[in-house]
Amino acid sequence: MTSSRVPPLAPEVQAAVAHEFRLGRVVSCSAVQTGVMNLNWQFTTDRGTFAVKRLTDRSPEAVRVGQSLLPRLAERGFPVASPRLTGSGDAILTIGDAAYAVNDWILGTHPTGPELPRAACTALGDLVGRLHLALTELCPPAPRQLPDEPSTAAHARAELHRFARLSAESDGFARDEIARRLELLDTVEDQQPPAGDVTPCGWTHGDLNPLNLLVRDGAVVGLLDWDRLGVRPYGLEVVRTATILFGQDLDRIAAFAQGYRGRVPIGLDDAADRRWWTLATETWQLERHFAGDSSCDHLLSRRGGYLYWWTGHRREVSAALAAGSR
């Protein structure tokens, strides 16, 4: 992302956030440019260092739910950033038309797959497995199965043609990528996963990507951004996390999956098929772009590149996800 994505935070807003969340006197406030959706700043005060987030992608209610869960996860030893509450006990502060949340700052870096040792990949899988089990106890009862009706190739094709017309009429954005997606659909349209119930399901983090993980000395020290906490198929979170974080590194995908299945012994073939099909038919980045939001433009080609590789290596990816299963 460009350095201007997150603007400076106005001094009066800094002062109000620090006062209401009882953070102390602000010494410095730096924009955090590594995010995609919400806007974030690092506050350094005379009482510590804090992460301040302005909500742009999720509702205050969703963020409150996630923030309320964090102290209970911390009690169980999970590496989460403790939330800060206002003097009235609220996790959200509204200033004008903007809403803010604050958490303690965790020192670490966002990982790339290759920098995690294989043992750390297994440990992360184990951590996600333990997390799913803990959420079962900490959250309200959840259904063990959920219906899934994958998008059809016909619908995806119609959307791609619509965006191709918009591209031709405006800025030419993603013209070649749209054409490539249409070509792919012609070759895989008969491989749509069937509609039906998916199991096992339960509470999940919902967005375990590198920007929501922090590592230090080869170990995961932070699970961030709980705005998408929700009930989903466990396999979806496992496959999504493994493929986003480790990409084409089948050895690390296998290590992660083995770590997870040591806690939650599930098969991942169906989840892999459904995740791959999601990538083959999704158009949400185009929808955002032509609605005037370019913040996710880069994800179209990035996810497309992985989709094409995955399409040519589906057996290998499935084998990695199944490594060590019985």
Q: In this structure, what token pair is assigned to residue 164?
A: 């191709």
CATH code for position 99? 3.30.200.20
* pLDDT beneath 70, residues of the chain: 1-4, 35-36, 324, 326
Phi, psi of 253 (to 5 degrees): -60, -45
Structural domain includes residue 56: yes
Q: Pick from 69, 85, 104: which residue ends a domain?
A: 104
Residues 162 and 213 in one domain: yes
Pairing of strands 83-84, 146-148: unpaired
Position 324 scores a pLDDT of: 65
Residues 36 and 139 in one domain: no
Position 229 scores a pLDDT of: 97
Residues 151 and 291 in one domain: yes
User: DSSP assignment, residue 173?
Assistant: T
Determine what percent of the chain is predicted with pLDDT higher than 70.
98
Residues 33 and 171 in one domain: no
Residue matched to tokens 């994800």: 299
The C-alpha atoms of residue 296 and residue 81 are separated, in whole angstroms, by: 26
The C-alpha atoms of residue 183 and residue 156 are separated, in whole angstroms, by: 12
Structural domain includes residue 300: yes
Residues 96 and 178 in one domain: no
Structural domain includes residue 75: yes
Burial class (CB in 10 A: 0-12, 13-18, 19+), 200: middle
Residues 232 and 97 sit within 8 Å (Cβ to Cβ): no
Burial letters 140-178, b for 16+ CB under 10 A, else e: eeeeeebebebeebeebbebbeebbebbeeeeebbeebb
Residues 39 and 148 in one domain: no
Position 279 scores a pLDDT of: 98
The C-alpha atoms of residue 39 and residue 52 are separated, in whole angstroms, by: 8
Angle between helices 297-312 and 269-281 (to 10 degrees): 130
Question: Measuring CA to CA, which residue among 85, 129, 106 is closest to residue 224?
Answer: 106
Residues 39 and 151 in one domain: no
Structural domain includes residue 1: no
The C-alpha atoms of residue 205 and residue 227 are separated, in whole angstroms, by: 8
Position 326 scores a pLDDT of: 62
**Domain containing residue 17:** 11-104
What's the farthest any 2 CA atoms get from each other in the chain? 61
Inter-CA distances, 166 with 82, 125, 230, Å: 45, 42, 34
Structural domain includes residue 3: no
Residues 86 and 183 in one domain: no
The C-alpha atoms of residue 270 and residue 47 are separated, in whole angstroms, by: 49
As a whole number, the mean pLDDT across the chain is 95
Position 4 scores a pLDDT of: 59
Phi, psi of 140 (to 5 degrees): -60, 160
Structural domain includes residue 98: yes
CATH code for position 118? 3.90.1200
Residues 197 and 94 in one domain: no
Structural domain includes residue 6: no
Q: Pick from 53, 83, 104: which residue ends a domain?
A: 104
Bridge partners, residue 49, by sequence: 44
Residue matched to tokens 């496992």: 238
Q: How many domains does the chain have?
A: 2
Residues 100 and 128 in one domain: no
Residues 36 and 303 sit within 8 Å (Cβ to Cβ): no
The C-alpha atoms of residue 234 and residue 268 are separated, in whole angstroms, by: 9
Q: What angle do CA 187, 191, 192 make, to 5 degrees?
A: 120
Residues 144 and 274 in one domain: yes
The C-alpha atoms of residue 16 and residue 201 are separated, in whole angstroms, by: 41
Q: Pick from 60, 81, 104: which residue ends a domain?
A: 104
Residues 129 and 205 in one domain: yes
The C-alpha atoms of residue 85 and residue 135 are separated, in whole angstroms, by: 22
Structural domain includes residue 25: yes
